[in-house]
Structure 1
Amino acid sequence: MRKVCSALPSYKLACFATLLLAGMAQASDTLYVESWRTDDANIWSDTIIPAFNKHHPDIKIQFSPTPPTDYNSALQAKLQAGSAGDIITCRPFDASLQLFDSGYLEKLNGLKGLEDFSDVAKSAWVTDDGREQFCLPMASVIHGFIYNKEIFEELNLTVPKTQDEFFKVLAKIKSESRYTPLDMGTADQWEAATMGFQNIGPNYWKGEAGRKGLIDGTAKLTDQAYVDTWKELAKWKPYLGRGFEAQKYSDSQNLFTLGRAAIYPAGSWDIQTFNNQADFEFGAFPPPVLKQGDTCYISDHTDIGMGINTASKHKEAAKIFLNWMASAEFGELFANAVPGFFPLSNHSVAIKDPAAQTFISWRQQCESTIRNSYQILSRGTPNLENQLWNVSAQVINGTMTPEQAATETQQGLEQWYGPQQ
């Protein structure tokens, strides 16, 4: 267009008018963000988008969430119809990998912002061979234990650092108070695996080394590390509430917010709920190590990523937005707007919420890993993640031994996963 305008002086005015209109159209381009985080709509409109537009006022952002239960199917339908947004909020691992393999997510190799993330952070959105990155890591959740500070003060308890100290604290709460020592139920099963097995387990299987060992076949679920994890879970039973077998996740949340339980096996996402509902001060501690001096490991689980729709007409603008999302500025904004969801970048961020700050501080003390059933190992039948739910709940209930749990999950993996056969 510029060459035409210079070549034909008599048409310069008309050409410049056309260029001006084209520039105005480009300036009004809008990036639409697909997400399942319906609760975050006001955070995007009030915090994230205004902060981004201070740097890039010409790129407009429209946050368009879908209810979480409908997100996967709705997104798939939109992508197939060619009506999906420019930015795709990515579930971790296989759900997004399938979108990439189907050609719906842009390859992000070379995106500058990715330089600020570790391999562990990027692992949820990379191909099995580690060569292709298809989503930018956005946020993780961290596992540990949340405790009622008032109860600890009342009973003169010290936050436990080792497994032995942990069980001494539980025993004292049980013998000297009316409070439930450990607040978790097994009715929904997933808590037994997510806040139980995946919470304490990394200290046994040594985080990423153990997780990767299951993937490459050099480790098995019948190894002592896994049997010992279930043995510790079995020891939780005497300290759980009366009728815990029928206790659901929401029941556990209510019990803790009412001040009737001392320790809550947690995911950091619970911080927001307790901030809103509890009228007492609570703190957090990481999974106690097996013995004094051991390296500690935490489940710092990749939860949310951001990708680019391959059909987007605004890919360059989308890359600018993703690079900004990799910045310390975005990480700090998001972490403070949504306490309990933590930036995955290597930047140091200041978090105002005291419990959230405690959780993220463990990254400086401990080695980070992710849930060991999420990458590759839950693709077949039986699904390892679902098996872990079931056997972990049974071990806590006392209806299955740790050895039986190990044998059942290992045999399940061997039925379909080559490296374990």
Structure 2
Amino acid sequence: MKNRANKLIISTFVVLGASISNATELSILVDNSPDTVALTQALTSAYSKLNPDITFEIELRPGGGEGDNIVKTRLATGEMADVFLYNSGSLLQALRPSRTLEPINDLANFSNILSSFTSTVSDDKGNVYAVPIQTAMGGGIFYNKRVYEELGLKVPKTWQEFMENCAIIAEKSKSAPIAQTYRDTWTSQLLVLSDFFNVQAEKPNFATDYTNNKANFATTPAALRGFEKLQQVSEAGYFNDYYGAATYNDGLNMVATGKAAHYPMLTFAIPSIKLNTPDYIEDVGFFAQPGDDADKNGLTVWMPAGYYIPKESDQKEEAKAFLNYIATVDACDAITKAIGANGPYLIKGCTLPDNVYPAVKDMLPYFQEEGRTAPALEFLSPIKGPMLEQLTVEVGSGIRNAQSAAELYDQDVAKQARQLNLPNW
């Protein structure tokens, strides 16, 4: 089932001195971000040291929509790796997990996985399909602390304060106020997706009404606001030069070095900043995307991606044994050692080191204070239209306005809901 054509194989781990004549090789398909590659190398290396008869082949795929299509195609054609990395939440449902994936409820360490994660990788029959890698994460805005200090700026708690900060940066600094990186189209979505805490604060029933086709983005002002914010910063000219050609790694480098003052992103990027620009990791802070009310300031939270096993794998037991290891404190420690920790782990007993990076410290108070976090919409509803990243690129590029994009996204969502056979659609 493993067609290796056109695959980039970056590493095979073999424990020196071990006999490999009867070794089992497991293939793993992951996205090509540096932090994902580093943590996968760390976990597979640690597991091979404990189990010298197991070796690993790591294959890379792009992120975003292109990566989604690769995963769906390989599952459909029976060419999926023995283990693969994929999202939790609504995007998982598009894989038809009960048909294509192997449940992992029978893992010996299954009870170590927190229910806040398992609920996002399960079907309506209670089958769970993944173990988490990395930590819970926040969606918001990285900022350069040196730029803020030099200009005497304070972390904003409202969108108006954020825009005022951007205006000062544009006037008094050489830094771009906001980094955008549309070559990696998935990164264009953050200003819309990270606004969901603010949507829920104003419309607590939005996720339920949205799922039941009683509310949408174009006609709900609180939900439309995320598209409007993207349009506003674009029209203000606050983006970096050549943002259409800039990559995710470019954005991280810009905010770390001060070439940009802000970069809207998920906190899973903290390890990549450490890997790419280790001398600047202490200069990067983080805050939740502000809403319009300072008294309702909070963080939109994402569950991490997980490792899955395809139902057609011919090495299910070996793959399950590897996932069973991932659900341990030792695996958490291997991840922390390799790339650091960027939020709370979702495996029981796993803890954060005292010397976490400033951006992690900035995020933790949201988790520690009641009512200051809310799950992203994709963890409250099974619907997420695949066109969103193309539409947000168009809004950010001035090709389409917020209202038009929201209307088209609602149409995209309706198609997705019908494909999932949801009621009321």
**Which band: TM-score by shorter chain?**
0.7 to 0.9
After superposition, the Cα gap between the structure-2 partners of 1:215 and 1:62, relative to the gap in structure 1 and judged at 3 Å, is: farther
Aligned partner of residue 66 in structure 1, secondary structure = strand
Q: Deviations over 1:203-260 (max 9, x none)?
A: 2235995444422334322222212222222221215136566453355455445532
Q: Which residue of 2 aligns with 1:8?
A: none
| Aligned amino acid, residue 239 of structure 2 | G
1:363 equivalent among 361, 367, 382? 367
Distance 1:202 1:338, change over 3 A: same
The residue correspondences of 1:325-404 to structure 2 (distance < 5 A) are 325-339=326-340, 343-345=345-347, 347=349, 349-351=351-353, 352-355=355-358, 357-358=360-361, 361=364, 362-365=366-369, 366-370=372-376, 372=378, 376-378=382-384, 384-386=385-387, 388-404=388-404
Give the partner amino acid of 2:232: K
Q: Is the 8 A contact 2:301 2:375 kept in 1?
A: yes
For residues 312-331 of structure 1, give each alpha carbon's deviation from its aligned partner in whole angstroms, at most 9, with x where no partner exists: 5672x655543332233322
- Per the alignment, do residues 390 and 257 of structure 1 end up closer, same or farther by CA in structure 2, a change over 3 Å counting? same
SS of the residue corresponding to residue 261 of structure 1 reads: coil
From 209, 220, 223, give the equivalent of 2:220.
223
The answer to whether the 8 A contact 2:26-2:319 is kept is no
Let me know the Cα RMSD of the aligned residues.
Answer: 4.0
Structure with the greater alpha carbon radius of gyration: 1
Q: Does 1:323 align with 2:324?
A: yes
CA distance 1:33–1:209, shift in 2 (3 Å):
farther
Alignment correspondent of 1:20: none
Q: Partners of 1:139 and 1:208 in 2: how far apart?
A: 29
Question: 197, 202, 205: which is aligned to 1:202?
Answer: 197
d(CA) in 2 for partners of 1:360 and 1:31? 39
Counterpart code for 2:405: A
**Cα 1:125–1:415 shift into 2, 3 Å:** closer
Equivalents in 2 of 1:33, 1:218: separation in Å? 44
Q: Distance in 2 between matches of 1:303 and 1:292?
A: 31
Matched, 1:62 2:73: no
Instruction: For 1:52 and 1:245, locate their aligned partners in 2 and report how far apart those are by CA, in whole Å.
Output: 40
**CA distances 1:290-315 after superposition (whole Å, capped 9, x unpaired):** 32231613232432334375655672
Match of 1:36 among 22, 30, 33: 30
Distance in 1, matches of 2:72 and 2:214, equals 36
Partner of 1:13: none
Over residues 65-92 of structure 1, what are the superposed CA-to-partner deviations in whole Å (9 max), with x where a residue is unaligned?
Answer: 1121586379548956xx954x454454
Q: Which one of the candidate residues 126, 143, 147 is aligned to 2:122?
A: 126
How far off is 1:110 after superposition? 4.8
Whether 2:141 is the aligned partner of 1:135: answer no
TM-score by length of 2: 0.72
CA distance in 2, matches of 1:347, 1:293: 34
CA distance in 2, matches of 1:211, 1:347: 32
Which protein is richer in helix relative to its size?
1
- 1:232 equivalenced with 2:233 (yes/no): no
- Structure 1 residue 349: Cα displacement: 2.0
Q: What amino acid maps onto 2:296 in structure 1?
A: D
Q: Deviations over 1:345-375 (max 9, x none)?
A: 3555214440453365243343242353996
Q: Which residue of 2 aligns with 1:282?
A: 284
The corresponding residue for 1:174 is 170
Change (3 A) 1:90 1:180: closer
Quote how far apart the aligned CAs of 1:41 are.
6.4
CA spacing shift, 1:255–1:59, aligned 2, 3 Å? closer
Query: How far does residue 143 in structure 1 lie from its aligned partner after superposition?
Result: 2.2
Q: TM-score, with normalisation over the residues of structure 1? A: 0.73
Deviations 1:125-150 (A, max 9, x none): 222x2522122232355422111121
Q: Which residue of 2 aligns with 1:259?
A: 258
Deviation at 1:53, TM superposition (A): 7.2
Q: Which residue identity lines up with residue 165 of structure 1 in the other structure?
A: E
Amino acid at match of 2:368: Q
| Matching residue's letter, 1:66 | E
Letter in 2 for 1:370: A
Q: Kindly tell me: are residues 297 and 114 of structure 1, through their superposed partners in 2, closer, same or farther at Cα, counting changes over 3 Å?
A: farther
Secondary structure of residue in 2 paired with 1:236: helix
The whole-number CA distance in structure 2 between the counterparts of 1:356 and 1:306 is 29
| 1:198 shift after superposition | 0.9
Name the structure 1 match of 2:302.
300
Give 1:283 deviation, angstroms: 1.7
Q: Which runs of 5+ in 2 are unaligned?
A: 1-18
Post-superposition offset of 1:184: 1.6
For residues 175-221 of structure 1, what are the alpha-carbon distances to aligned partners after superposition, in whole Å with 9 as ceiling and x for unaligned? Answer: 3333221222556653332x221122332235995444422334322
Cα deviation digits, residues 104-135 of structure 1 (max 9, x gap): x33223545443445542344222x2522122
Contact 1:137 1:304 in 2 (8 A): yes
**Aligned residue type for 1:260:** K
Does structure 1 retain, via aligned residues, the 8 Å contact 2:227–2:402? yes
Aligned-pair distance for 1:414? 3.5
How big is the shift at 1:154? 0.8
Q: Which amino acid aligns with 1:184?
A: Q
> Are 2:141 and 1:145 aligned?
yes
